[in-house]
Structure 1
Amino acid sequence: MLDFISHDPRFSALVIGHAKLEKLWTGCRWAEGPAYFPAGRYLVWSDIPNNRMMRFDETDGSVSTFRQPSNNSNGNTTDREGRLVTCEHLARRVTRTEHDGSITVLAEQWEGRPLNSPNDVVVKSDGSIWFTDPSYGIESDYEGEAAEAEQDGCFVYRIDPRSGAIDIVIRDRVRPNGLAFSPDEQLLYVVDTGASHVPDLPVTIEAYPVGSDGRALGTPHRFATCPEGFFDGLRVDMTGNIWTSAGINVFCYGPDGAHLGTIPVGEIVANVCFGGPKRNRLYICGQTSLYAIYLKVRGAV
């Protein structure tokens, strides 16, 4: 299997022709939510059905259990102080792991009712935390616990960095999933996987313009449509290219929405993130395994 497939001449400036896709570890049921910690040179990711979080040590290649039980954690990221921010399906909340290991609950309800099952999360440069809340974690006992939804829909929320107040910023998606800001934070990319519930609905990445106040969002435009399978988690590099899970592959899109290239993985891909001392190693969570590949481009800070 080829390690790269180019669809646009611009892709050659992003990849290393002789770099290989490495399978670093296998043994998950559904790997998700990779987050890299540069101070320790390790990666944390979720294994949702197994109710655990795993840790890959980049210095020696070892893998260990980071946290179990994990409340069926899904998406993870780091904040501006290097703390872990986690979406938990089972507890239906977003938490932050402090430097001393204690856990702070950041969001668990909206207008007095429990959230659905927070899925993915990103931290903006102002410290605000943005997360998606589809219903996947309450639809069965496999990735959480079956329960009735108590919200009127599946929304995207923002947590204010100073007051901790929670606001809905997106209401027009069916099942909002992965999300990421452009490097200049002028756009918020949001995946909609509503096709899991609405037949013939396209699986898309929508691009929302961010207002001058840094929090209000304008009318989105359709950035990309997945030709087969599902988009899920995504990240952006320093030059504005989007690297996203796409069925059994990773797709790279240019800022103009052109499909630049493909990294074939061979199993369903859930999420990606940049890591390594130079942020030029793309970590990939396949369904059962953790992969990585070196690129010419660095991930956006």
Structure 2
Amino acid sequence: MIARALAIVSVLVMVAAVSAAQDSVVSPGAEMTKLAGGFRFTEGPAADAEGNIYFTDIPNNRILKWAVEAGQLSTFREDSGGANGLYFDREGNLLVCEGSGGRLVAISPDGKLTVLADTYDGKAFNSPNDLWIDPKGGVYFTDPRYGSRDNLPQDGEHVYYLTPDRTKVIRVIDDMVRPNGLIGTRDGRLLYVADHGDSKTFVYTVNEDGTLSGKKLFAPEGSDGMTIDNRGNIYLTTRVVAVYSSEGEKIEEIKVPEGPANLTFGGADRRTLFITARTSLYRIPLAVRGIRTPVMPARERGARQRQR
């Protein structure tokens, strides 16, 4: 009877282990790979329509590009205005949070730069840090200040929303210590925002006009950058990549050789996690796929432009 009970327990343990392995976000046997190094502080990774990764080296004032298929690194933009967070919109424009420039800008596929927002209530921003574009085309972005907080242009460190027509900036969060990373769900109904200064991450309901309500504690730790996968899991960057289920349960940790700052899914199938970590860019294959605002492929974008 005891032997039978032990056998049942053994089977249950094996089933649980198999279940855990199947639920892991990391592909079986996957290894972390360093793609490039020698930077000063990498941040803001974003994938274009082909899955190539653009990221920033903040102290060196550059935006770089990792061509996934060719495995080659190139400089996309010098004198980047202290570029930090990046995100592609549906038209293929690269939106950039210029930390030292104090503004949110868009760089078109042909290299033209347009300033989208540089003031709120007639005052300059502190240091735009990270951003997410919702399904309507509106842009949420955080505006903390790292380093000296003397003489802040704004009356604190807040979160803003640039309306889809890109004519108005709304302050949507004004009660955080130091907001940083943020990401939304594919349907645009929920927004996750990390209060890096208070070591907490919160989730909000997104209202029809882009304002936020129903603030709830999501995770008892903050984050620098964030991303989301097709299971609804949220990825936070602290000393490791911490993976939380949509219910707010920590389900996994992914160790990185250097402290991770930000991350995004890329590659042709969006099944590779790219991580900016201090002086380097890393990648690891996952068993899940990233989700994001759909980016219009270059050939479709070109056809639309010819029709105009």
Which band: TM-score by shorter chain? 0.7 to 0.9
Q: CA deviation at 1:13?
A: 4.3
Normalised TM-score (structure 1): 0.87
1:291 partnered with 2:282: yes
- CA contact under 8 A between 2:206 and 2:212: conserved in structure 1? yes
The corresponding residue for 2:302 is: none
1:277 partnered with 2:280: no
Aligned-residue CA RMSD (Å): 1.8
Q: Distance in 1 between matches of 2:34 and 2:20?
A: 27
Q: How does 1:86-235 map to 2 (within 5 A)?
A: 86-136=96-146, 139=147, 148-194=151-197, 202-211=198-207, 213-226=208-221, 231-235=223-227
Encode CA deviations 1:150-171: one digit per residue, 9 max, x unaligned: 1111111111121521110111
Structure 1: runs of 5+ lacking an equivalent:
1-5, 141-145, 195-201
CA 1:24/1:217 → structure 2, altered by over 3 Å: closer, same or farther? same
CA 1:172/1:70 → structure 2, altered by over 3 Å: closer, same or farther? same
CA 1:10/1:165 → structure 2, altered by over 3 Å: closer, same or farther? farther
Q: CA deviation at 1:122?
A: 0.6
State which structure, 1 or 2, has the greater radius of gyration over its C-alpha atoms: 2
AA at the equivalent of 1:192:
D
CA 1:10/1:234 → structure 2, altered by over 3 Å: closer, same or farther? farther
1:34 partnered with 2:29: no
Q: Secondary structure of 2:55's match? A: strand
The corresponding residue for 2:6 is: none
Q: Secondary structure of 2:129's match? A: coil
The corresponding residue for 1:48 is: 58
Q: CA deviation at 1:173?
A: 0.8
The corresponding residue for 2:94 is: 84
Q: Distance in 2 between matches of 1:292 and 1:266?
A: 11
Encode CA deviations 1:93-116: one digit per residue, 9 max, x unaligned: 000001221100011111111100
- CA contact under 8 A between 2:116 and 2:166: conserved in structure 1? no
Q: Which has the higher helix share?
A: 2
1:263 partnered with 2:248: no
Between Structure 1 and Structure 2, how many residues are aligned?
A: 275
AA at the equivalent of 2:159:
V
Q: Distance in 2 between matches of 1:88 and 1:163?
A: 17
Q: CA deviation at 1:60?
A: 1.6
Q: Secondary structure of 1:300's match? A: coil
Q: CA deviation at 1:10?
A: 7.3
The corresponding residue for 1:197 is: none
CA 1:90/1:270 → structure 2, altered by over 3 Å: closer, same or farther? same
Structure 1 vs Structure 2: percent identity of aligned residues?
Answer: 39
Once the two structures are overlaid, the 10-residue window that deviates more, 184-193 or 9-18, is 9-18
Structure 2: runs of 5+ lacking an equivalent:
1-16, 293-308
- CA contact under 8 A between 2:163 and 2:210: conserved in structure 1? no
Normalised TM-score (structure 2): 0.85
Q: Distance in 2 between matches of 1:15 and 1:268?
A: 19
The corresponding residue for 2:5 is: none
Q: Distance in 1 between matches of 2:271 and 2:235?
A: 12
